[in-house]
Every structure is written in structure tokens, then in C-alpha cells.
Structure 1
Amino acid sequence: MTLYNQINSLLLALFLLVMSSLVYFQFTETKAFMVDQMDSDLNNTVTSLSLMLKPHLETGDAATVDTLVNVIFEGGFYKQVTLSWLADNKQQQWKNEVSIQKVPQWFIDLDLFKAQSKEVTITSGWLQLATLKVVSNPAIGYRELWRIMNNTLMVLAILFLVCMVLLRLRLKRILKPLHEVAEHARDVSQRKFNPSMALPSTTELKEVVGAINSMSGQLKQVFSALDDEVESLKDDTLRDHVSHLPNRLYLTGQLNSWLNEPDIGALLIADLNWLDQLHSRYGYQMRDQTIKVLAKKFTKELPHADETLVARISNTEFAFLIRKADREQVLESLQSLIRLINQEMLNASFESNQDFAIGISERTNGVTRAELLSQADNALQKALNENKISNWFYVESEQDVSREGWREQLVKSINQNQFLFQWQPIQQCSDGEVIHREIYCRLEVDGKVIKAGQFMPYIERLTLGHRLDRCLLQAIAKEKLLDLNSEPIAVNLSRESVNNLDFHRWLKGYLSEVRSPEKLHFEMSESGITQNLDTCLQLCEIITMAGSKFGVDNCGRQMGSLTYLQQLKPHYIKLDMSLSCYNNEENEENQQNLELCRALVNIARGLNITAIITGIEDERHLQTIKPLRAEGYQGYIMPPVEITTA
């Protein structure tokens, strides 16, 4: 029960106690007064009637006696009058039926008043003339007592209602700060930090509000400090301090993550030797200023800038990781890059198309990070040696299917649900128990299994992501995969599904029909969330209202702030694979990634979010990340397996 209701109940009980006491006192006093009043009236009547009857009794005038008694008796205040003549034993009796008007029967049945009687002997000197007995009528007592109590209760009821209304209004005003404190505390528990509340006039409440404001401010500072710690770590270890672009270490992590996901694209390495000449002519300040200008143009003016990672990896070298792009799009980005470099060279009074070179290496199936870097560097060295502006590193690969061919095949596969499913467990760091299982799909064409890495890039480029997600969710329901294990199943939603309002409506209907929606988890990539936060919040609300949970995939991949976690409040986050501490990496990179992971885990714990570290390769790797106190892990230590149904 709320404090407001408790105070209301207490005051109501006290008020009813006082009212009951007043009613009881009024009732007993009125009853006693009416009894005394009827007794007094009876005495007066008997005395006056005996005096009036005396002379007529002496003469034996019975007619006059009858008339005088009737005058008094017809007033209705008496139930019975009996006159006994002593001379001849003659008896006269007058009776009046008791009739009580405007009084409920239940009140009469209480038998509050007894009929009173008074008997006197009328004498003349020493001679006894008659005996007079008068019995009172209790109707007057019931009528008057009912009228008085009715009026009393009506007045008290009106007074009670007025007092209760005034009391509720006053209590609401007095307790309003407490209600605000409760809402403020609830928001703080959900990691929402609103402006400080105004201090109320009540001394006790002022102390409570002040304490809540102080606590909220301190918690906000703690979470801000954690976020600032991550930002500081990223700036110190992953960002080039001249260009403010990511450095080689960040590029290395992103390559690890990118190559472990289905995608297409290329890595470009540009060596701008003319920057050293600029340094020789005008000094390091002019060179650094030019690098900053180039960095801004590279990040804003290149085609597909949202999917292009630009990094400064050495004094004069820049790397361009172009994701989700085929060869034509990579060529478009290359031409734009050459144009931007030439424009800046002309601005610095250098001749265009000289003193710089670019090496390009396209991503191929199974290529490793070291191989991709080596291929791009070999292409760069060949361009420098042959005095070319750019050079491609070509790898023999089969390119059987065109874009339209992929469209036709993928649409057909989605319509006919030709996908094969695997899942991979996410396990607890403490005991290895499975938290949930992430589901993956492969494509079967003419008896040949095609991995997701080959067709998923085309799913996104052809805007078929929401259709594939529907197909996957329908297959989960149709094949009753939720019933195979007690653990939930996680589905990774495409970026298109996050933005597609039609998919939102479809998912709401789908979840309303699923038998166990609490066993479905949905994952969204960090980049998809930060670029469409409002739309993502709507989708997450649909998921939460249905009883399902959602998480953030690739958390920590972006260089920006993590404040979106406070708004989104996901149930779990999966740290990006670029932060993994592989056993074959350099010790410096291991230590830096460990510190970044530790900071991200601390932020998640502070926000009551489950943290899952990805990319765990083996038991040795697992022991490396256990001190971070993350709740779960995922990786090749427990690879995806086929889903077997009964």
C-alpha cells in the first residue's frame, strides 16, 4: 500500500472513530432526554387531568368526565387511559393504537422506549372518588429520536465528505515531492538521469529530495566517467593524434572483425610521399594541417563514406577499408580518392598525379588479415616501383554469378525457404552453461551448400534483409526450434529490418502468435543502432512488450560514445571481435584490447547489462578474458553445429 493510501486510511479511521463517538453520545443523550421528557409530560397530564375530573366525579357527571378525557386523549400522546369509579366499581377505558409514521420498522424493532404508566387516586377530602391510570405512547420518542439522529448523521456525512476532499487535495500537494522522488528513483534504476528535482518546503521531504538528487548526480558522474574512460582509452590507443583518424591498431582489429563476417569489399593503402616534401618546404605545422584537411575530406567526400573506414597507419600512409562494395564500387571510391589527393596537392603547390601511390587488394574467400594487408602492401610497392598512381592485386577467383543472378537465386530461396540452419552456443564464463544459442543460415542450391559469407553481402545490397529475417523467423516457428532446448534462440536482424516499419508491424504480429516469445532474442549491430536510434527504439519496444529480449552486436566497434546504451537499455551486449585478445597477437595489442574490454564490461555492469565477449578461440584464450568478469563468451572454442530435429 502506498504512503498516500496509508495516511488516508489512518485519517479515515480516526475520523470514523470520532464520528462514531459523536453519534453514540448524541444517540444516548437524545434517548435519555426523550425518556425524561415523556415521563415529565405523563406526570403533568395525570396531575392536571385529575384536578379537572375531581368536581365532575363528585357530582357523578360521567358525560363531562368522558369529554374531558377525550380532549386530552385525542392528542395521540397516550396509549391508554383507565378511570375506575370507586363508588360503584364502574370502569371507563380509552385506547389508542400505537402508529409511528416516518420511522423505519427496523428502528422501531430496536425496542428503545418502553411504555410508561402513571396511576393516581382522585379524592375529595377523605373520600376516594376514582382511580386514574394513564399509559404513554412511545411513538413520540421514536419519531423525535429518528429525526434528530437522521439530521445529525446527514450533517456529519456532509462534513466527512468535505473533510475527505480537502484532506486528499492537501495530501496530494504535501506528498507530491515523494511521488517525484519515486519516479526519479525509478528512472535512476533504469539509468535515466533527469535534472535535479526542486526542493519542497517540508523539512523532512527536503532532506529526502536532496539525498536523491545527490545520489542521482553521483551515479550520473560514475557512468559518465566510465564512458569517458572508454573514450580516453580509444583516443590514447586507437586514434592518430594528428589526423584524429583511427590508427593501425584500430585498423587491425577492424580487419579481424570484418573478415569474420560475411561481406565483400577491398583494402586500399595509399602512400602520400609528397607530405614529406611538404614538411621539408614548410615545416611540420603545414604538414599536420594538410593531413587534417585530407582526413576530413577522406571521411566525408568519398563514396560510401558510411561503410568506409579511413585510418592513418604511418607517417605518410593511409588505409581505406571499403566494406559492402563490389569491384565497381571500389573503383568508384578509388577514382574519388585520387581526385581528392590531387586537389589537395594542387592547393599545396605540388604537381598532381605524382609522389603518391595506391595499392588495392580485394577481399576473397578465406583470406586472412595478414594476407590481405600483405596483398595491399605488395600492390602499393609495385605501384611505387613502376611509378604508377594505383595498382590492383589480382587473385584468381570464380565470379560465376552476377548481381541479377544473385537476386533471382536469393528471391527464389527465400520464397521456397531453401536455407539450412546452424546454431552456436553463448556460454557463461563462470560455469560454461549455455546462456542462449545464436542461429545462422546457409543456402542450398542444387545440392550444393553456400556459406553465408558468399550470399549475405548481396542480401544487404539487394535490400532483401527484412525478407530473409522473416523467412528465418517463420522457419523457427514452423520447425519448432524453440522447443528443442530450454535455452533461448538469438536471431541477428539485418540493418534493413531495423529501419523497415513494415517489418516492425509484421514482427509484432509474429511475436503475438509465437507460443514462447520469451525464448527469442534479437540482436542488432551497433552501427545500425547508432545511425537509426529512434527507429531502433521503436523496434526494441515491440520486442520487449512481447516478452522477448534484445542485444547489441559488435558493441565497441564504433569510435563514438556509448551513451546510446542508456537510452536503449539492451538486455545484453556482445563486444566486437576487434577487441578480442588473440594469443598470436603482440603483447601491446593484447593489453590495450584487455583494457578496452574491461572498461566496456564495467559500463555494462553499471547499466545492469549482460556483457558477452566474442571471438574466443580456445581454452587459453578463455582464461585470458576471465579476469574481465564478463558474464558470457562466444567463439570458435564452441563452433556452430547443425540443428537436428526429432
Structure 2
Amino acid sequence: MTLFREINSLLFALFLLVMTSLVYFQFTQTRDFMSQQMQSDLNNTITSLGLMLQPQIETGDVATAETLVNVIFEGGFYRKVTLKWLVDGKEQVWENPVVIKGVPQWFINLDLFETQKKESLITSGWMQLATLEVEGHPALGYQELWRVMNDTVMILSFLFILSIIVLRFKLNRILKPLHNVAIHAKNISQRKFDQDIELPKTTELKDVVGAINLMSGQLKQIFSTLDDEVNDLKEDKLIDQVSQLPNRQYLSAQINNWLNEPGFGGLILAKFDWLDDIHSKYGYQGRDEIIKVVSKRMQAELPDIAESVIARIANTEFAFLITKAEKSTIKVYLQTLIRLINQEITKAGCSPNTRFALGVSQRIENMNSADLLSQSDNALQQAQRDNKVSHWIDADQPQKYSREQWRSKLVDSINNNHFIFQWQPILSTRTKKVIQREIYCRLNIDEQIVTASEFMPFIELLSLGSQLDRCLLQSIEQQNILAQSSEGVAINLTHDTLQDPQFIQWLTQYLKQSIYADRILFEIPESAAISSLNQCYQLAEIIKAAGAKIGIDQCGRQIGSLEYLQKLRPNYIKLDLSFAYYEKLNQNKELCRALVNVAKGLGIAVIITGIEDQEQLAAFNSLKAEGYQGYISPVEDVDINHS
């Protein structure tokens, strides 16, 4: 029971007790008063009537005696009058029935008044003439008692109801701060830090509210400090301090991640020897200012052409990892970069198209990071040897299908649910048991199995992500895959899906109709959570409302704040593959630990990815993560069980 109800019930009981007591005392006093009043009236009547009857009885005037009695009796205040003549034993009786108007019969049946009689002997000197007996009528007592009690109950009931209304209003106002404290405390337990509660006027409650506000502020500061610590570590370990661009270490991890996932694009290595000329003329301070200006322009203009990672990997060397672009787009990116560099060279007073070189290579199938870096470096050296601003090593990889052919075949396979599913178990670090499974899909195209690494780049290029996710979810439901894993199945959502408002409406209906909605774990990439936070929040609320769960994939990949975790409140995060890569190099343990501390501080489970063997897993033991996945737990085929 709530505090409001307890106080309300207590005061209600006290009020009821007081009201009942008042009614009882009023009732008893009124009844006693009326009894005394009727007794006194009866005494007066029998005395006066006896004195009036004495002369008539002495003379034997029966008619006059009866007239006198009738006068008294017809007033209706007496139930019975008995006159007995002692001379001849004659007895006369006047009697009224007990009929009481305006009083309920149940009230009369309570017999609240005892029968009141009074007998008197009429004498003349020493001679006894007659006996007179008068019995009072209870009508007056019942009528008066009923009127008084009816008025009393009505007035007290009105006051009682009015008091209850006023009491509830006042209690609501008095206890509102406590209600706010309860909500605030609940939010704090869920790591939600709202604005401070307004201090109430009540002294005791003011102290409680003040303490809660203080605690909330301190906890908020702690979590903010953890977030700042992650940002500081990222800037210290992964950011070049002059250009504020990612450094070589971050670039290496991102290349490794990119090549381990479906994608297409290329890498440009750049050497800006003209910066050495600036250094010779103006010193390192002048060179650093130029680097800052150039870096800001590159960050502002180049990502609009294609999604990319721009890094400074040495004093005069830069790298541009273009993660989502076809060859034609890479050419536009390269031309824009050359134009931008020439503009800054000219502003610095140097000759354009001199003292810089760019080496370009394009990603091909089964390429590793060493191959990609080697190709770009060879292209850079070739440009320098030929005294050109750029050189492109064209792998000339044959395309399986044209863009339109890919569109036609992908749409056909997706719409006809030509999915072949596999999943990878995610194991508990404590018990080694499966805690969830991440599902992967392949497509059957032209009677050939096409892996995600081959078709996903074209899904993104052709904006088919939303359509793929819809059909994939429907196929999972139709093939009854969720029934096979009580631990839950993780499904990755594409960027296109998160940008599609119609998908959110469709997903709401899908989850309502799904029998196993509570077993679905939707995973959102961190890049989408940062760039489309509002859409992700809307999607997360729908998912949670249906009983499903939400996770953040590639957590820690982006250089930026983790504030999105505060708003989205995912059930779990999956650390980016780069942390496993850093662990191999024995780097960035502090950053990984800080990120895990932020997640745990918000009550979010942590899953480590990219684990290859027991030795690597042991290196992460100190983080106390909830689960892990990687080559250590290989991908398995899903047994199709049609419902």
C-alpha cells in the first residue's frame, strides 16, 4: 500500500471514529433529554388533570369529567388515560393507537423509549374518590429524536465528505514531493538523471528532496566523468593532437575491421612534402596551423562525397580509407582531394600540383590489411617516381554482375525468401554456456550460394536494406527459427532500415503478431546510433515495449561521446572488433576498460567480439564481461523447422 493510502486510511478511520462518537453522544443525549421531557410533561399533566377532576368527581358530574379528560387526551400527547371511580368501581379508558408520522417504522421498532406511566389518587379530604392513570405517547420523542439525528447525520456527513476532499487535496500536495522522490529514485536506479526536484516547503521533506537531488547530481557526475574518461583516452590514444584526426593506430584497426566485414571502397595514401617547405619557412608552429586548416577542410568536404576515415599517420603523411564507394565515386573523391590540396598550397604561397603525391588502391575480394596498405604505398611511390600528383593501382577485378543485374537478382531473391541461415553462439564468460545466437544469412542467387560479404555492399549501394530486413524477419518467423533458441537470436539491422519510418510501423505490427518476440535481439551499429539517434530511440522504444531486446554493435568504433547509451538504454553492447585487434598489439587496455565501466555503470551487459582462442579470451577476463564471440565459437548451420 502506498504512503498516501496508508495516511488517507488512517485519517479516514480517525474521522469515522470521531463522527461516529459525535453521532452516538448526540443520540444518547437527545434520547435522554426527550425521556426526561416526556416524564416531566406527564407529571405536570396528571397533577393538573387530577386537580381539575376533583370537583366533578365529588359532585358525581360524569359528563364534565369526561369533557376535561377528552380535552387533554385529544392533544395526542398521551397514549392511554384510565379513570376509575372508587365509589361505584366504574372505570373509563381513553386510548390512542401508536401511530407516529414522519418516522420510519424500523426506527420505531428500535424501542428507544420505555413506556412511561403515572398514576394519581384523587381525594377529597380523607375520602378517596378515584384513581387516574396516564400513559405517555412516544410519538413526540421519536419525532424529535428522528429530526435531530437526521439533521446531525446529514450535517456531519457533509462535513465528513468535505473534510475527506480537502484532506485528499492537502495530502496530494504534501506528499507530491515524496512521489517525485520515488520516481526520481527509480530513474536513478535505471541510471536516468533528470532535472533536480523542486524543494518543498515542508522542512522534513525538504531535507529528503535535497538529499536525493544531491545524490542524483553526484551519480550523474560520476557517469559523466566515466564518459569523459573514455573520450580523453580516445583522444590520447587514437587522435593526432595537431590535426585532431585519427592516428595510425586507429586507422590500422579500422582497416582490419573493414576488411573483415562486407564492404567496398579503397585507400588513398598521401605524402605532403610541401608541409616541410612550410616548416622551413615558418617553423613548426606555422606548419601545424596549416595542418589544422587543411584537416578541417578535408573533414568538412570529403565525407559528403563518400563515407571515409581521414587519418594523419606521420608528420607529412595522411591516409583516406573510403569505406563505401564504387570506383567512380573514389575518382570524384580523389579529384576533390587534389583540388582542396592545391587551394591550400596556393594560399600558403607554394606552387600547385607540386610537392605532394597520392597513391590509390581499391579493395578486392579476400584482401587483407597488409595487401591494401602495400598496394596504396606502391601507388604512392610510383606517383613520386613519375613526378605525378596521383597514381592508381587498378586491380581490374572482374565484376560478377552489373549494378542493374545485382538489383534485379537481389530483389528477386529477397522477395522470394531465398535465405540460407547460419548462426554463431555467444557464450557466457562465467559458465561458457550459450547466452544468445547471432544470425547470419546467405542468399541463393542463380542456384549459387552468395555470402553476405559479396552481396551486402550492393544492398547498401542500392538502398535495399529495409526491404532485406523485412523479408529476413518474415523468413525467420516462417521457418520457425526463433523456437529453436530459447536464449534469443540477435539480428543486425541495416542503416537503411533505421532511416525508413515505414519499417518502424511495420515492425510494430510484426512484433505484436510474433509468438517469440521476447527472443528477438535487434542490433544497431554504433555509427547509426550516433548519426540517427532520434530514429534509433523511437525504434528502441517500440522494441522494448514488445518485450524484445536491443543491442549496440561495433561499440567503441566511432570517435565520439557515449551519451547515446544514456538515451537508448540498450540491453547489451558488443565491443568493436578493434579492441581484440588492440589486445593483440597490447594497446588501449585502459580505453577498453573505461568503455566497459561506462556500460556497466548504466546497467548494460557487455559482449566481447573477435575472440579467436582461449589465450586471447584470458586477456579479457579482468573486464568481467557477460559474454564473448568470435572464431572461438564457430558459425553453425540453422536446422530449418517449418511450423
**Normalised by the shorter chain, which TM-score bucket?**
over 0.9
CA distance in 2 between counterparts of 1:394 and 1:616 reads: 34
- 1:333 is matched by which residue type in structure 2? Y
1:513 correspondence with 2:531: no
User: For structure 1, which segment, 601-610 or 344-353, has the greater mean C-alpha deviation from structure 2 after superposition?
Assistant: 344-353
1:334 correspondence with 2:334: yes
CA distance in 1 between counterparts of 2:254 and 2:126 reads: 136
Q: CA deviation at 1:41?
A: 1.2
SS at match of 1:580: helix
Q: CA deviation at 1:499?
A: 1.6
CA distance in 2 between counterparts of 1:208 and 1:257 reads: 50
* Alignment-derived partner of residue 438 in structure 1: 438
Q: 2:525 touches 2:552 (CA, 8 Å); kept in 1? A: yes
Q: 2:443 touches 2:449 (CA, 8 Å); kept in 1? A: yes
Question: CA deviation digits over 1:238-291, x for unaligned, max 9?
Answer: 000110100000011111211121111111111111111221122111111111
- 1:643 is matched by which residue type in structure 2? V
Q: 1:299 touches 1:305 (CA, 8 Å); kept in 2? A: no
* Alignment-derived partner of residue 105 in structure 2: 105
User: For structure 1, which segment, 25-34 or 187-196, has the greater mean C-alpha deviation from structure 2 after superposition?
Assistant: 187-196
Question: CA deviation digits over 1:409-429, x for unaligned, max 9?
Answer: 111111111111111122211
Q: CA deviation at 1:334?
A: 0.9
* Alignment-derived partner of residue 238 in structure 2: 238
1:628 correspondence with 2:623: yes
* Alignment-derived partner of residue 172 in structure 1: 172
Question: CA deviation digits over 1:586-627, x for unaligned, max 9?
Answer: 3xxx231x2211111100010011111111111111111111
CA distance in 1 between counterparts of 2:103 and 2:150 reads: 10
Instruction: Show the 5 A alignment for 1:190-205.
Output: 190-205=190-205
* Alignment-derived partner of residue 599 in structure 1: 594
SS at match of 2:566: helix
Q: 2:469 touches 2:497 (CA, 8 Å); kept in 1? A: yes
Q: CA deviation at 1:188?
A: 2.3
SS at match of 1:83: strand
Where in structure 2 are there 5+ consecutive unaligned residues?
A: none
* Alignment-derived partner of residue 571 in structure 1: 571
Percent of residue pairs bearing the same amino acid type: 57
Q: CA deviation at 1:57?
A: 1.1
* Alignment-derived partner of residue 532 in structure 1: 532
* Alignment-derived partner of residue 24 in structure 1: 24
* Alignment-derived partner of residue 468 in structure 2: 468
Q: 2:306 touches 2:322 (CA, 8 Å); kept in 1? A: no
CA distance in 2 between counterparts of 1:545 and 1:479 reads: 24
* Alignment-derived partner of residue 299 in structure 2: 299
Q: 1:302 touches 1:336 (CA, 8 Å); kept in 2? A: yes
Question: CA deviation digits over 1:360-404, x for unaligned, max 9?
Answer: 121122111122112211221222222222222233533121111
Q: CA deviation at 1:212?
A: 0.9
CA distance in 1 between counterparts of 2:60 and 2:303 reads: 137
CA distance in 1 between counterparts of 2:421 and 2:557 reads: 27
CA distance in 2 between counterparts of 1:599 and 1:479 reads: 41
SS at match of 2:45: helix
Q: 2:423 touches 2:440 (CA, 8 Å); kept in 1? A: yes
SS at match of 2:97: coil
SS at match of 1:591: coil
SS at match of 2:437: strand
Q: 2:43 touches 2:118 (CA, 8 Å); kept in 1? A: yes
Q: 2:576 touches 2:609 (CA, 8 Å); kept in 1? A: yes
User: For structure 1, which segment, 504-513 or 563-572, has the greater mean C-alpha deviation from structure 2 after superposition?
Assistant: 563-572
CA distance in 2 between counterparts of 1:389 and 1:437 reads: 49
1:498 correspondence with 2:493: no
Q: 2:79 touches 2:135 (CA, 8 Å); kept in 1? A: yes
CA distance in 1 between counterparts of 2:312 and 2:188 reads: 41
CA distance in 2 between counterparts of 1:579 and 1:631 reads: 16
* Alignment-derived partner of residue 10 in structure 1: 10
Q: 2:345 touches 2:351 (CA, 8 Å); kept in 1? A: yes
CA distance in 1 between counterparts of 2:494 and 2:578 reads: 20
Q: CA deviation at 1:2?
A: 2.1
Q: 1:436 touches 1:490 (CA, 8 Å); kept in 2? A: yes
* Alignment-derived partner of residue 122 in structure 1: 122
Question: CA deviation digits over 1:523-581, x for unaligned, max 9?
Answer: 11111111111121111111111111111111111111111111111111111111224
Q: 1:491 touches 1:520 (CA, 8 Å); kept in 2? A: yes
Q: 1:581 touches 1:621 (CA, 8 Å); kept in 2? A: no
Q: 2:253 touches 2:582 (CA, 8 Å); kept in 1? A: no
CA distance in 1 between counterparts of 2:581 and 2:616 reads: 7
Q: CA deviation at 1:348?
A: 1.5
* Alignment-derived partner of residue 421 in structure 1: 421
Instruction: Show the 5 A alignment for 1:546-625.
Output: 546-581=546-581, 585-586=584-585, 590-592=586-588, 594-625=589-620
* Alignment-derived partner of residue 183 in structure 1: 183
Instruction: Show the 5 A alignment for 1:70-469.
Output: 70-302=70-302, 304=304, 307-395=307-395, 397-469=397-469
CA distance in 1 between counterparts of 2:154 and 2:445 reads: 87
CA distance in 1 between counterparts of 2:581 and 2:382 reads: 33
CA distance in 2 between counterparts of 1:102 and 1:551 reads: 77
CA distance in 1 between counterparts of 2:464 and 2:334 reads: 27
- 1:636 is matched by which residue type in structure 2? Y
CA distance in 2 between counterparts of 1:210 and 1:351 reads: 66
SS at match of 2:378: helix
Q: 2:306 touches 2:333 (CA, 8 Å); kept in 1? A: no
- 2:414 is matched by which residue type in structure 1? I
CA distance in 2 between counterparts of 1:358 and 1:384 reads: 8
SS at match of 2:620: helix
- 1:103 is matched by which residue type in structure 2? V
Q: 1:436 touches 1:488 (CA, 8 Å); kept in 2? A: yes
* Alignment-derived partner of residue 37 in structure 2: 37
Q: CA deviation at 1:162?
A: 2.5
Q: 1:122 touches 1:132 (CA, 8 Å); kept in 2? A: yes
- 2:78 is matched by which residue type in structure 1? Y
SS at match of 2:536: helix
The match for 1:641 among 632, 636, 639 is 636
SS at match of 1:283: helix
The normalised TM-score by structure 2 is 0.97
Q: CA deviation at 1:200?
A: 2.6
Instruction: Show the 5 A alignment for 1:31-70.
Output: 31-70=31-70
SS at match of 2:449: strand
CA distance in 2 between counterparts of 1:109 and 1:614 reads: 87
CA distance in 2 between counterparts of 1:87 and 1:205 reads: 89
- 1:635 is matched by which residue type in structure 2? G
CA distance in 2 between counterparts of 1:477 and 1:59 reads: 118
Q: 1:303 touches 1:332 (CA, 8 Å); kept in 2? A: no
Alignment CA distance shift 1:306-1:228 (3 Å): farther
CA distance in 2 between counterparts of 1:265 and 1:8 reads: 70
Where in structure 1 are there 5+ consecutive unaligned residues?
A: none
Q: CA deviation at 1:171?
A: 2.3
Q: CA deviation at 1:477?
A: 1.1
Aligned length, in residue pairs = 641
CA distance in 1 between counterparts of 2:80 and 2:516 reads: 85
CA distance in 2 between counterparts of 1:345 and 1:630 reads: 50
Q: CA deviation at 1:327?
A: 0.8
